[in-house]
Amino acid sequence: MRAVVYDRYGPPEVLRIENIERPVPAEDEVLVKVHATTVNRFDTATREANRRSGLAISLMSRLVSGLRRPRHRILGTEFAGEVEAVAAATSEFSVGDRVFGTSGLRFGAHAEYISMPVRGRIAHMPTGMSFEEAAPICDGALNALTCLKQADLHPGRTILIYGASGAIGTAGVQLAKSFGAEVTAVCNAKSLELVRSIGADRVIDYTQEDFTKNGQRYDVILDAVGKLSFRRCRGSLAPSGIFLPTDGLGNLIWALTTRRSKGKRVLFQIPPRQTKQDVLFLKALIEAGKYRPVIDRRYRLEDVIEATRYVETEQKVGNVVLTV
């Protein structure tokens, strides 16, 4: 099968297409023929061993993904495709089923085939979706959901989402609205109408206004792009407000020191606990018309280097899809 592989950490140019053996599913797995996948922040950070996040984070990344060289040669976490083979003991899936999901730290989705545990984060595709539409369901939404479940969102609660036009941000806006919260979305000017269209009650162009200086207070602040710090946001939180980061060693330290506080807190789930039930929850939201992943650009698998370069500009709106 064709797959995108890499054998050393580095820039996008370390990626290449190679013909390798297709995976052989274990007794508790299904083999999926991948029709679409994505390039996301997790892929790009892993490929360069989180070099941009500093020495400490880079070392932690290598301890997980391989100290000297990548432990998994094939990146890619999100996928949508058709079941090619199933284990004899499996009753949930049949050959030909259209499925989607995420492999997480197993990676392997930037290829023509991937094997997935039946009990893993894989489910039947929502009704009426194409493979390209279904591939980006999970990454941004599961990361947003992991954060938002800690914040007890409900009608009457207010949340500000910083970086509301990215994969996590566009999912976060829709999920927060589905929970009944009042949403303020922060993004650049070109994405203001988009975030309004997916449910934001108020929008802020960060190039024109600094939300930390406008005097507004929020019950929850979600940093969907890993650019903020608790110190910067503390003044914009309500007295018992919650700051939800998606990155940053400093924020992890704040999470440890404020977790028992009755005042303003940082909640940072490490490691994130994402389950099959979460994937099924997203599917139900889609079929209820309450969530749909936003797609910015589509590339062929062969153009993965170009797609990766675009993701690394940090200017993508929603998700970047690879067709296989």
Residue-wise pLDDT tens digits, 162-177: 999 999 999 999 999 9
Task: Look at residue 258 in the predicted model and tell me its pLDDT.
Answer: 74
pLDDT in tens, 273-323: 899 999 999 999 999 999 999 999 999 999 999 999 999 999 999 999 999
Strands (E), 63-150: 78-86, 98-102, 113-117, 122-124
Task: Look at residue 253 in the predicted model and tell me its pLDDT.
Answer: 75
Residues 208-221: what's their mean pLDDT? 96
Task: Look at residue 10 in the predicted model and tell me its pLDDT.
Answer: 95
Strands 158-162 and 182-187 turn out to be parallel
Tokens linked to 96 = 């030909």
Residues 120-138: what's their mean pLDDT? 97
Tokens linked to 182 = 């009042």
Q: For residue 29, what is the DSSP state?
A: E
Tokens linked to 241 = 């407000």
230 or 248, which is more confident? Answer: 230
The amino acid sitting at 74 is I
CA 42 vs CA 100, 220, 257, 319: distances in Å: 18, 24, 26, 12
The yes-or-no verdict on residue 116 having pLDDT over 90 is yes
How far apart CA 55 and CA 152 sit, in angstroms, is 34
Based on its alpha-carbon atoms, the radius of gyration of the chain, rounded to whole angstroms, reads 19
The yes-or-no verdict on residue 51 having pLDDT over 70 is yes
How far apart CA 204 and CA 173 sit, in angstroms, is 13
Are 187 and 163 in contact by the 8 Å Cβ rule? The answer is yes
The amino acid sitting at 62 is R
Q: Picking from 188-192, 233-237, 250-254, which range would have the lowest pLDDT averaged per residue?
A: 250-254
The yes-or-no verdict on residue 217 having pLDDT over 90 is yes
The yes-or-no verdict on residue 92 having pLDDT over 80 is yes
The yes-or-no verdict on residue 248 having pLDDT over 90 is no
> Percentage of residues in the chain with pLDDT exceeding 70?
98
pLDDT in tens, 311-322: 999 999 999 999
**Mean of per-residue pLDDT scores for the chain:** 93
The amino acid sitting at 218 is Y
Task: Look at residue 75 in the predicted model and tell me its pLDDT.
Answer: 98
Give the global pTM: 0.93
How far apart CA 175 and CA 289 sit, in angstroms, is 11
Tokens linked to 238 = 């309500």
Task: Look at residue 181 in the predicted model and tell me its pLDDT.
Answer: 98
Q: For residue 112, what is the DSSP state?
A: S
Q: Of 282, 272, 211, 216, which is closest to residue 246 (Cα–Cα)?
A: 272
Domains of the chain with CATH codes: 2-139+273-323 (3.90.180.10), 151-266 (3.40.50.720)
The yes-or-no verdict on residue 249 having pLDDT over 70 is no
Task: Look at residue 7 in the predicted model and tell me its pLDDT.
Answer: 96
Residues 253-281: what's their mean pLDDT? 83
Q: Of 169, 114, 109, which is closest to residue 293 (Cα–Cα)?
A: 169
Q: Of 321, 281, 307, 323, which is closest to residue 47 (Cα–Cα)?
A: 307
Q: Picking from 3-7, 95-99, 247-251, which range would have the lowest pLDDT averaged per residue?
A: 247-251
Task: Look at residue 56 in the predicted model and tell me its pLDDT.
Answer: 75
Residues 137-145: what's their mean pLDDT? 96
Are 172 and 224 in contact by the 8 Å Cβ rule? The answer is yes
pLDDT in tens, 11-39: 999 999 999 999 999 889 999 999 999 99
